[in-house]
Amino acid sequence: MNEFIHTVGIETYLSSDRLNYFYKAYGYHDDIYFYHHEEKKRVLCKYADRGFRMEIVIADEMVKKYDPQHRALKANWIVTPAKLLYPGQAMKKLHMVEEYCAACEELYKIIEEIKKDSGVNLLDDAKLRRVDLAKDIETPSEEYTHEVIRLAKKALKQYGYRLMAEADEAKRKEEYKDENGVFYYNKSQDVKAKIYNKIADMKLHDYDITGYSGLLRFELALSKGFLKKENYMTEEYLEDDNLAWILGNVLMNAHELLHKHITSPLWSGAMLSKELQKKYIWKYCGYKKDSEKYRKIMRYRNRHNKKDDEKSADRKSVVRGYYMEMGLSPLYCNDAVRYIPSFADLLNGTENEEIKVFAERF
């Protein structure tokens, strides 16, 4: 099992006097606690290398209105479970439920340290906001990575999933390029998915990329609404072992969650280069280019490979059945890459052997 929980989002609300306690405890220091003028937020980063970072912002007016205590500030915790056990190791991953239990214990130690320093108990009314689930896939090159992302943008089906132009966090990065990620969401399910170039992300953060030819990350953000609706959590407040139980529950179902909300919304089937795909279809049609079946399949292919067409893939045509039977996607990759397994196979680390051998032979 190579899936892991990358980030956990937690929130709590603070009164103005508690904000003053933080300032008295930490002052303003870039490496401990500081004010981000551009984004108008205060950031507690003293424990960032240990997997805990907190951003304090002004709460929404509606939240302040209906909060019994009318607290004016919201504290967003960004928790990286792996760093809780392995401080400073950005690419470390946890794959076992027991590791997340130990990580939660470390988190509570940090919260206790903050309470001792400032007098503020962050666990008061703290609620789970989201869980980000991920899996990394090594690729032969960055060109291969870019091609997977390009094709994923064209492969998104209808039925509730929609493309986002950019991830919210990416909008703030001038270095971000559209070729480095595809982002989509399902509003009714309350989930957000992304497939992105992890090498590009590592370069942005000055991480060591030695030993990587290419790296894709499949990542799924599960909101608290989704987690409650699907019974991955019964209580959003962080009490007793509640957080460890929720993370363990998500991790044990990680494989199914990633497939259901990341690869299932994308067109199935392996992807070949334009000429290889044409030869494979010709072979499937009994080497009869003048057959009606061949012409239908090729028209379908041509329609879905238009350069300016990034609309949701059409599943209604009867020709779709031909592609499913072949194990082939109507989308083709570039000549340099030649062959890419289906998105599900990429995530699984498996391949359609017949199509793979065909690509190698030609």
pLDDT digits (tens, 9 = 90+) for 212-236: 899 999 999 999 999 999 999 887 7
pLDDT at position 325 is 92
Give the integer Cα–Cα distance in Å for 99 and 80.
13
- Indicate the pLDDT class of residue 139, thresholds 50, 70 and 90: very high
Q: Which pLDDT value is given to residue 116? A: 95
Rounded Cα distance between 181 and 177, Å, is 8
- The pLDDT of 262-286, averaged and rounded, is 94
Q: Which pLDDT value is given to residue 194?
A: 94
Task: Provide the pLDDT for residue 301.
Answer: 86
- The pLDDT of residue 174 is 45
Rounded Cα distance, 135 and 3, in Å = 5
Inform me whether the pLDDT recorded for 171 exceeds 80: no
Edge-first strand order for the sheet with 214-223 is 33-36, 41-44, 52-58, 73-79, 4-14, 127-139, 214-223, 191-197, 181-186, 161-164
Residue with tokens 């405890």: 25
Average pLDDT over residues 97-108: 96
For the chain, the C-alpha Rg in angstroms (whole number) is: 24
Tell me what pLDDT residue 183 has. Answer: 92
- 56-70, 249-263, 340-354 — which is least confidently predicted? 56-70
Residue 234: predicted pLDDT? 83
Provide the token pair at 228: 């409650």
Task: Tell me the mean pLDDT in the region 331-342.
Answer: 96
Residue 149 pLDDT > 90, yes or no?
yes
> How sure is the predictor about 77, in pLDDT bands with cuts at 50, 70 and 90?
very high
Confidence grade of residue 76 (pLDDT, cut at 50, 70, 90):
very high
Residue of 314 and 42 predicted with greater confidence: 42
pLDDT digits (tens, 9 = 90+) for 185-206: 998 899 999 999 999 988 888 8
pLDDT on residue 247: 96
- Give me the mean pLDDT over the 32-56 stretch: 91
Mean model confidence pLDDT for the chain: 88
Task: Give the pLDDT confidence score for residue 260 in this predicted structure.
Answer: 95
User: 135 versus 124: which is more confidently predicted?
Assistant: 135
Judged against a pLDDT cut of 90, whether residue 69 lies above it is answered with no
Q: Please state, as a whole number, how many other Cβ atoms lie within 10 Å of the Cβ of residue 72.
A: 16
Average pLDDT value for residue range 22-44: 86
What confidence score (pLDDT) does residue 230 get? 93
The yes-or-no verdict on residue 170 having pLDDT over 60 is no
Calculate the alpha carbon distances from 264 to 137, 172, 268 in Å.
Answer: 17, 30, 8
pLDDT given for residue 172 in this prediction:
45
Residue 67's identity, in one-letter code, is D
The band of 184, judged by pLDDT with boundaries at 50, 70 and 90, is very high
Which of 20-29, 250-259, 346-355 bottoms out in mean pLDDT, i.e. has the lowest? 20-29
For the chain, give the percent of residues with pLDDT over 70: 92
Structure confidence at residue 313 (pLDDT): 52
String of b and e for 196-232 (b: at least 16 CB within 10 Å)? bbbbbbbeeeeeeeeebebbbbbbbbbbbebbeebeb
pLDDT of residue 175: 47
Dist. CA 183–CA 181, nearest whole Å: 7
Q: What span, in angstroms and rounded, lies between the C-alpha atoms of 200 and 310?
A: 23
274-284 helix and 319-326 helix, angle to the nearest 10 degrees = 100
Per-residue pLDDT band at 249 (split at 50, 70, 90):
very high
Q: Where are the domains of the chain?
A: 4-125, 132-263, 271-361
Give the dihedral sign, CA 331/333/339/345: negative
pLDDT of 173 > 90? The answer is: no
| pLDDT in the model for residue 167 | 46
